[in-house]
Amino acid sequence: MSAAHENVKVRYQQIAYRKAQQVEETRQNAYAKVPELAGLETELLQVNLDILQSGINKRLDRTALKTRRDALTKEIAAKLTQNGFAADALIPKAVCAICGDTGVAPNGGRCACYDRYLLEARIKDSGLPEYSGSFETFDAGVFSDEKGKEKVSQRQYMQTLKERCEKYAAAAFEDGEKNLILMGSAGTGKSFLAQAVVTRALQNGQIAMYTTAGRLFKDFYNHRLGENVDLERYEDVPLLAIDDLGTEIMTKNVTVEYFYNLISARETMGKATVIATNLTPEDFVSRYGDRIYSRLFSKISAKYLIPAGYPDIRKN
């Protein structure tokens, strides 16, 4: 079972615990106000146990027990409502009415709440920041509609780029282009789109991870120093997005060597890699060298160079 599924299991346990705790609190209040409730509840518990036992113990009168159970249930509800509590205040309430917080739908399949918790767990594991980009929240309206020096307006360009990225997210796990490279200056929406690709992959049930270059190369550096850093997760994850490439601190014998190993391992295994960078292709070659450049900028990559004339939208 993957870590995300484990997290969902823990989530249901937490829900059950929280429900029990809430009811227990209400129970203490109710008992303080209506002391006879304690005796009624204890008797109800015993009657319910006897009903279960009545299958094998013929001395127990099942019909009479059920009559007593219904009478007790009614009496408890009446006492509660007379004293300002809800009739069902002592019965734990399910967060999900469909599955009763078991994760199993009535048809035996997975409940929608399970899938929702699973997606949340995957997003949490993915390294995505809290307010990360998604195709659903992409708003071309934040970009200028004026053409300026470029052939198309920034708005039109970004709308098309968003559609390409969406196509990439759908095909990268099949036989589509394996790498997606988004180049352009700061504040042009590259990070947003890289995050949106990761979010979409997670929504589709795939395993994906987002990291900034700063975090990734720090892990490389610490690994080089002999620290116990798990670099395999960067190699193994089916889709990896590396944001802000080029802003990390260069370290001799680490940056280029480790980055090359990661890129070629991922390529050999047919994994999908998304890169967002402020570097131009020329800067890229001079920073990381030909070997990495030719690996990444090959025909298995979709490459987009956002025109330099577009403004930084965060400066508006």
Binding site for Zn ion (CB under 5 A): 96, 98-99, 111, 113
CB of 223 to Zn ion, least distance (A): 41
CB of 96 to Zn ion, least distance (A): 3
CB of 42 to Zn ion, least distance (A): 32
Residue 63: both structure tokens together? 């019909």
CB of 108 to Zn ion, least distance (A): 13
Nearer to Zn ion by Cβ, of 100 and 187: the residue is 100
Nearer to Zn ion by Cβ, of 12 and 135: the residue is 12
Nearer to Zn ion by Cβ, of 78 and 98: the residue is 98
CB of 271 to Zn ion, least distance (A): 33
**Rounded to whole angstroms, how far apart are CA atoms 183 and 198?**
17
CB of 117 to Zn ion, least distance (A): 9
Nearer to Zn ion by Cβ, of 96 and 262: the residue is 96
Burial string for 262-296 (b: 16+ CB within 10 Å, else e) reads bbeebbeeebbbbbbbbbeeeebeebbeeebbebb
Nearer to Zn ion by Cβ, of 30 and 111: the residue is 111
CB of 34 to Zn ion, least distance (A): 33
Nearer to Zn ion by Cβ, of 96 and 202: the residue is 96
* End-to-end Cα, the chain, rounded Å: 47
Q: Given phi > 0 = left and psi -120 to 50 = alpha, else beta, which region is 255?
A: alpha
Nearer to Zn ion by Cβ, of 104 and 229: the residue is 104
Nearer to Zn ion by Cβ, of 47 and 113: the residue is 113
CB of 107 to Zn ion, least distance (A): 12
Q: Tell me the longest C-alpha to C-alpha distance in the chain.
A: 93
Determine how many CB atoms are found less than 10 A away from the CB of residue 234: 21
